[in-house]
């Protein structure tokens, strides 16, 4: 139970006893650093019902609390603020209660609670995963883990965009230029091989456009008349009509990509519980359009196309079925959402991890599903995020200038190696130990740098800056964890026993107060779908620990009880670092 929850009924009783009035809400805030106190009550709202000056009111309430509430040690009043000092016994009781708890702050899901489905990644099968996918995957995976830790059952899923003209472009280019190449024959990951042919198509397409323009066509005419684009369009029609040789090639090249994606996901440390494929879902939703027409939610235009008018909600008219009866993306998204609940009947909400360029799309999608009467539609959330930029500029898939996810991860590992070697910290490590550690540090740096930023914000990603061993970085936090493990290894006494201390050093108290916040931070991060809250809490915890580490002796302390407590406190901080980093998908090293 939080301090505010403990104090609220006592303060309400104090106000009733002292002034014979009730107050709707007690307002608390953190005590400012320049004043003594652990929590502050704001007096000003009380002036509306009690005619007095704020200092006098604060002193009366403070004296009542000291006399009647065991957790309150003393107080001071500054203007209209009652700064309350909490007794050390409260913090010691709290710490002893959590000292041996596994996964402190994590809530076990209730069997009757509705589950949340989190969608992320959702790539196209015509190119490898890139830096934008990295942010998407890290956000989606982390939010799923945080929601799970907050006490919900979670399903992780993705929808793979495995059909359409862009897929046919890679297939056609492979047919024309591939000479039977395979991932095995080239030694390339399958997604990279297929991505190369997507780039090859674009190159050939541009050449044909230039030739047609030189022959007198306009650019627009040339784009439509280029033979290679006409062939790709025909291939798409052949796929839709089930032409056996096209389907066989499509299956074969897609499998190359899936195998490549699986390697990237494993290296990135993300996973999924289920997969949906656009080739299976693109026809979903058409039957729902008919239901919507019957209910008067949709309307049919004279040309046979079907629309929904959302102008009353501040949006516009949105097409849900073309005049030729074919579906649009909105149609299949409606159908896919409904299908997922059919597949997982305990799903009561969904989180879509998709870039902010799709903000409008999801406003419309969620509103349509609500109008169709699905009760779970009120629990849909678009985890909208900004782009990731590099100092070198914008990425373009067609031109092959994207930052490949695999290359980025390798670069992060290499950067970690260079910085660690320059610092000379790993002389006693074996080659295998070094390799594993460089990977842990490099990926930790990448993930933390991306996740510490509010999802909505655009990021300029700087690999060198992210692997700094000082400041608000993953390696800085990992280093503190490793330092604590070193202390624990050196502790040659039994620190599992009750320490038996009654007073806390100021730095010990501040550290316990920081630990106490962790369960609330998890809940807030889940509610706000924000791994940044976890990341920055962990940084604050580590800063508080390092302040404690500099201020007091741990293993050099002569008082055995104090020494036991300080090792216990250090271990609990390490546990929370590891647990919070697990929510971000980051590993922590035992040595560093």
Res. 397: pLDDT tops 80: no
Query: Cα–Cα distance between 80 and 592 in angstroms, integer?
Result: 49
For residue 116, give the H/E element and its range.
strand 115-119
CB atoms within 10 A of CB 417: 19
Radius of gyration, alpha carbons of the chain: 30
The three-state secondary structure class of 514 is helix
Q: How far is CA 465 from CA 143, 272, 387, 480, in A?
A: 25, 31, 18, 18
User: What is the per-residue pLDDT across 322-347, written as a single tens digit (0 to 9) for each?
Assistant: 999 888 999 999 999 999 999 999 99
User: What is the per-residue pLDDT across 105-147, written as a single tens digit (0 to 9) for each?
Assistant: 999 988 888 999 999 999 999 999 999 999 999 999 999 999 9
Percent share of the chain, pLDDT over 70: 98
Across the range 192-205, mean pLDDT stands at 96
Res. 400: pLDDT tops 80: no
3-state secondary structure string across 72-94:
EEEEEEECCEEEEEECHHHHHHH
User: What is the per-residue pLDDT across 277-299, written as a single tens digit (0 to 9) for each?
Assistant: 999 998 899 999 999 999 999 99
Using pLDDT thresholds of 50, 70 and 90, give the confidence band for residue 401.
low
User: What is the per-residue pLDDT across 454-508, written as a single tens digit (0 to 9) for each?
Assistant: 999 999 888 888 888 888 999 999 999 999 999 999 999 999 998 889 999 999 9
Our separate counts of H helices and E strands in the chain read 22, 14
The three-state secondary structure class of 317 is strand
CB atoms within 10 A of CB 25: 8
Res. 32: pLDDT tops 70: yes
Percent share of the chain, pLDDT over 90: 85
The Cα diameter of the chain in Å comes to 95
Q: Is 122 left (phi over 0), alpha (psi -120 to 50) or beta?
A: left
Closest among 234, 334, 246 to 283, alpha carbons compared: 334
Across the range 444-451, mean pLDDT stands at 96
Query: Cα–Cα distance between 230 and 212 in angstroms, integer?
Result: 14
Token representation of residue 220: 């627009």
- Model pLDDT, residue 395: 42
- Model pLDDT, residue 399: 46
Res. 270: pLDDT tops 90: yes
**Block residue for tokens 């741990």:** 554
The domains found in the chain, sorted by start residue, are: 3-86 (3.30.1360.70), 164-278 (no CATH), 405-583 (1.10.730.10)
CB atoms within 10 A of CB 499: 21
3-state secondary structure string across 454-521:
CCCCCEECCHHHHCCCCCCCHHHHHHHHHHHHHHHHHCCCCCCCCCCCCCCCHHHHHHHHHHHCHHHH
- Model pLDDT, residue 466: 87
- Model pLDDT, residue 393: 52
Mean pLDDT over each residue of the chain, to the nearest integer: 94
Closest among 485, 487, 478 to 588, alpha carbons compared: 478
User: What is the per-residue pLDDT across 515-526, written as a single tens digit (0 to 9) for each?
Assistant: 999 999 999 999
Across the range 548-576, mean pLDDT stands at 97
pTM attached to this predicted model: 0.93
Across the range 201-222, mean pLDDT stands at 96
Across the range 310-316, mean pLDDT stands at 94
Task: Say if strands 274-277 and 154-160 run parallel, antiparallel, or are unpaired.
Answer: parallel
User: What is the per-residue pLDDT across 363-373, written as a single tens digit (0 to 9) for each?
Assistant: 999 999 999 99
């Amino acid at each position: 139970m939080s301090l505010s929850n403990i104090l609220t009924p006592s303060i309400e009783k104090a106000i009733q006893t002292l002034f014979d009035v009730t107050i709707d809400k007690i307002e608390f805030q953190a005590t400012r650093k320049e004043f003594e106190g652990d929590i502050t009550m704001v007096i000003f709202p009380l002036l509306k019902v009690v005619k007095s000056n704020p200092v006098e009111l604060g002193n009366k309430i403070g004296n009542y609390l000291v006399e009647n509430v065991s957790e309150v040690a003393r107080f001071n009043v500054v203007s209209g603020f009652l700064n309350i000092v909490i007794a050390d016994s409260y913090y010691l009781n709290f710490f002893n209660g959590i000292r041996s708890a596994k996964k402190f702050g994590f809530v076990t899901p209730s069997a009757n609670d509705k589950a949340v489905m989190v969608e992320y990644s959702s790539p196209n099968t015509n190119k490898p995963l890139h830096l934008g996918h990295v942010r998407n995957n890290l956000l989606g995976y982390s939010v799923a883990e945080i929601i799970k830790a907050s006490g919900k059952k979670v399903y992780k899923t993705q929808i793979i965009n495995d059909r359409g003209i862009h897929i046919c472009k890679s297939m056609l280019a492979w047919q024309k230029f591939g000479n039977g190449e395979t991932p095995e024959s080239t030694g390339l990951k399958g997604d990279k091989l297929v991505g190369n042919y997507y780039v090859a198509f674009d190159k050939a397409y541009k050449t044909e456009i230039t030739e047609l323009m030189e022959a007198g066509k306009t650019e627009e005419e040339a784009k439509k008349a280029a033979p290679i684009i006409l062939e790709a369009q025909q291939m798409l029609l052949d796929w839709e009509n089930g032409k056996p040789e096209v389907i066989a090639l499509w299956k074969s090249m897609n499998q190359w990509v899936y195998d490549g994606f699986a390697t990237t996901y494993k290296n990135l440390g993300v996973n999924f519980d289920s997969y949906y494929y656009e080739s299976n879902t693109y026809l979903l939703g058409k039957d729902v359009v008919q239901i919507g027409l019957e209910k008067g939610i949709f309307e049919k235009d004279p040309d046979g196309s079907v629309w929904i008018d959302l102008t009353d909600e501040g949006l516009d008219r949105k097409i849900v079925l073309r005049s030729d009866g074919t579906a649009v993306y909105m149609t299949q998204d409606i159908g896919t959402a409904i299908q997922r609940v059919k597949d997982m009947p305990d799903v009561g909400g969904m989180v879509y991890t998709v870039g902010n360029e799709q903000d409008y799309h999801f406003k419309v999608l969620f509103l349509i599903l609500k109008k169709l009467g699905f009760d779970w539609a009120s629990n849909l959330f678009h985890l909208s995020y900004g782009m990731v930029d590099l100092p070198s500029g914008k990425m373009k898939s067609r031109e092959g200038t994207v930052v490949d996810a695999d290359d980025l991860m390798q670069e992060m590992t290499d950067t970690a190696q260079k910085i660690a070697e320059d610092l000379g910290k790993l002389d006693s490590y074996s080659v295998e130990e070094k390799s594993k550690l460089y990977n842990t540090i490099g990926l930790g740096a990448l993930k933390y740098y991306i996740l510490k930023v509010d999802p909505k914000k655009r990021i300029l990603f700087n690999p060198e800056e992210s692997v700094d061993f000082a400041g608000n970085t993953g390696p800085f936090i990992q280093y503190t964890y490793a330092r604590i493990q070193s202390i624990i290894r050196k502790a040659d006494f039994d620190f599992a026993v009750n320490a038996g201390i009654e007073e806390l050093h100021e730095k010990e108290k501040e550290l316990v107060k920081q630990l106490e916040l962790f369960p609330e931070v998890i809940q807030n991060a889940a509610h706000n779908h924000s791994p940044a809250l976890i990341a920055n809490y962990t940084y604050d915890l580590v800063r508080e620990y390092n302040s404690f580490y500099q201020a007091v002796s741990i293993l050099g302390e002569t008082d055995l009880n104090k020494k036991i407590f300080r090792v216990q406190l250090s271990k609990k901080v390490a546990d929370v670092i590891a647990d919070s980093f697990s929510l971000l998908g980051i590993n922590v090293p035992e040595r560093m």
